[in-house]
Amino acid sequence: MDTQKKKVAVIGALNVDIGGRAERPLAPGDSIPGRVRTSFGGVGWNIARDCALLGAETAFFSLLGRDEHESGILAEGERFGVDLSHCRWVARQNNRYLYICDELGDVAAAVNDMQLCSLITPDLAASWLPELSGAGAVVVDANLPEETLAFLAGHVTAPLAADSVSAAKSVRLGAILPGLGLLKANRAEAAVLTGLSRPLDQAKALLAAGVERVVISMGQEGILCAEGKSFFRQNASNTHPVDATGAGDSLTAALAAGLAQGLPLAKCAQLGVAAAGVTIAHAGAVSSELAWLGWNPPQAADPR
């Protein structure tokens, strides 16, 4: 996929991920053998790295901490080809995210410490506007404060895409729905935003609220996409799951990369489920295999 002509700007969270995967079913209160690893994550950072792997010129905008991980973050940005020059660095600890996956690779529990994100203010966002104006798409994640999301929705001129992050944080997007060119949410997040439980009803309500394009992730059932009066379902990639962490972020990245190129929603969706399939088949939130992603998408299915 040739995305080099249009930049994707990602504004959101970067954190230190500490994750474990159990080798057998989890038991409350018990210690389960497994594997534990530390890496860099965060919804925004995952999306940025995925966009770069998919071939998009990618810039990341965030507030980062000058702690023991600073050099590692800079090295990773260089390795993936993500521009970090617009980030603000402060003498604080970076965000932390602690998660546990069950033996199937699904996240069973997580704790996040995202204090730096609360300091990404509208004033800081305003300093980024000149760089954001040249992007083909701007992605925000719901880790950002509501007032900052509102500022960006009111001032960013490029198509604005949003990732809901979680059911608890998705509520932060409620006030900016009319300003979104694309929203990616799972069923639980869409339920918070709409008060509805059926994905088709959720998509209709989000379109009525002003979102231009809606993508609702339904796990192994694929994704439901909506734009105007068009609704379709894209089947999930037939992949043996290893680690579900980051699969939704790779979906958002592929959607944003396609949006930056002006691709139709159906093409974005095809690339999105393929990217999520690659990610879920590998350990960790970001898979380098995305760089070799082939373009042989499945056909869209009727949502009914």
Distance CA 207, CA 215 (A): 11
Q: What is the rounded distance in angstroms from the CA atom of residue 105 to the CA atom of residue 122?
A: 37
Is the pLDDT score of 286 beyond 90?
A: no
What pLDDT, on a 0 to 100 scale, did the predictor assign at position 237?
75
DSSP string, 109-151: EEEEE-GGGGG--HHHHHHHHHHHTT-SEEEEETTS-HHHHHH
Q: Return the minimum-mean-pLDDT range out of 118-122, 148-152, 168-172, 278-282.
A: 278-282
Domains of the chain (ranges; CATH) run 7-301 (3.40.1190.20)
Angle subtended by helix axes 122-132 and 146-155, to nearest 10: 30
Residue 281: CB atoms within 10 Å: 17
Q: How confident is the model at residue 239 (pLDDT cuts 50, 70, 90)?
A: low
Tokens of 9: 């700007």
Q: What pLDDT digit, counting tens, does each position of 55-98 carry?
A: 999 999 999 999 999 999 999 999 999 999 999 999 999 999 89
- 141-155 burial: b if 16+ Cβ within 10 Å, else e: bbbbbeebbbbbbee
pLDDT tens for 173-232 read 999 999 999 999 999 999 999 999 999 999 999 999 999 999 999 988 999 999 999 999
Q: What is the pLDDT of residues 129-177, one digit of tens each?
A: 999 999 999 999 999 999 999 999 999 999 999 999 999 999 999 999 9
To which H or E segment does residue 58 belong? strand 57-61
Q: Which pLDDT score is estimated for 291?
A: 84
What is d(CA 229, CA 18) in angstroms, rounded to the nearest whole number?
A: 43
143, 42 Cβ separation under 8 angstroms? yes
Percent of the chain with pLDDT over 90: 74
Give the pLDDT confidence of 93-116 residue by residue, as tens digits: 999 989 898 998 788 988 889 999
Sign of the alpha-carbon dihedral angle for 185, 186, 190, 193: negative
| Six token digits for residue 43 | 């919804």
Whether the model clears a pTM of 0.85, i.e. scores above it, the answer is yes
User: What is the distance of C-alpha 172 from the center of its chain?
Assistant: 15
> Which residues are registered as beta bridge partners of 180?
none
CA distances from 176 to 153, 238, 269 (A): 6, 34, 23
Query: Which residue, 59, 227, 214, 209, is CA-closest to 138?
Result: 59
CA distance 114 to 117: 6
- How far is residue 35 from each of residues 15, 226, 246, measured CA to CA in Å? 20, 39, 17
